[in-house]
Amino acid sequence: MENFDASLSPYFKALLGTRDTRVKGWFLLDNYIPTLVCSIIYLLIVWLGPKYMKNRPPFSCRGILVVYNLGLTLLSLYMFFELVTGVWEGQYNFFCQGTRSAGESDMKIIRVLWWYYFSKLIEFMDTFFFILRKNNHQITVLHVYHHASMLNIWWFVMNWVPCGHSSVRADNHPDHLRGHLAVYLPSWLVVFPDRIHDFPDCSLHKLLHTDLQQEGGLPEERPPERPPEWVCGCCERTHQQLFFPGKQCEAKEATEGLKSGS
């Protein structure tokens, strides 16, 4: 594994520039392999979990869910407080802030953003609870893509742009520009691929486990109920008023003309 990571380092350096030395030695940040392995294990559990739970009753998980949600809530409050105070103390510029311009405040931001990166690993449990409770309809393509990608994206953020704003002036900061593009461009993949765009609410387990559907292991989902007629009528009238006001007036005048003619 160390040899594999060492072989990746020259490519990372050539593409993104030199890593930020302030995070050297931090847990999970020196080596990309643990982050990659955790993501692969997560995807394997998403694939195999519904098969394992097929003939087993769902777990309640009520007690552990209370602790889990309370813990993430407290962690989120801590991160919010630390980010706000760090930005305030460092007098951050919201339009363009360098990564080495606020001294100790930058380190405060880096420390709290490491917790944010680590929270992406903790949040894998969201999907695991869905699997254990057999709420497979909640495991959508977008849900899995988000959880699997965020941990990897933030590993790169923490190693190259762990604070401040990445500069987009290629003439002055070419390494920061390459880092900015390489780190944030993958997040746009959630918009452009046809599969993710077309199936954001499609249950991933139905795409992966067609054998369970054929064997009757998965219940058929009911089609969404059509809204009442009066709701459809209101929506249609509102749409016409907003986008086709002229046509509506013409139709109204034509109706009044027919009434007067009769």
**Segment 45-59, tens digit of pLDDT:** 999 999 999 999 999
Whether 191 and 233 map to the same domain: the answer is: no
Q: What is the pTM of this model?
A: 0.66
Q: Is residue 221 part of a domain?
A: no
Whether 74 and 49 map to the same domain: the answer is: yes
Burial of 134 (0-12, 13-18, 19+ CB in 10 A): middle
Residue at token pair 């990166």: 117
Low-confidence ranges of the chain (pLDDT < 50): 166-199, 220-224, 231, 242-243, 245, 248-251, 253-254, 258
Whether 233 and 181 map to the same domain: the answer is: no
Contact 158, 114 (CB under 8 A): yes
Range of the domain at 12: 2-214
- In this predicted structure, what is the pLDDT of residue 81? 93
Name the token pair of 105: 């405040």
Whether 204 and 235 map to the same domain: the answer is: no
Whether 206 and 90 map to the same domain: the answer is: yes
- In this predicted structure, what is the pLDDT of residue 230? 53
Structural domains counted in the chain: 2
Whether 239 and 201 map to the same domain: the answer is: no
- In this predicted structure, what is the pLDDT of residue 78? 94
Q: Active-site residue numbers?
A: 146
Contact 113, 157 (CB under 8 A): yes
Whether 166 and 249 map to the same domain: the answer is: no
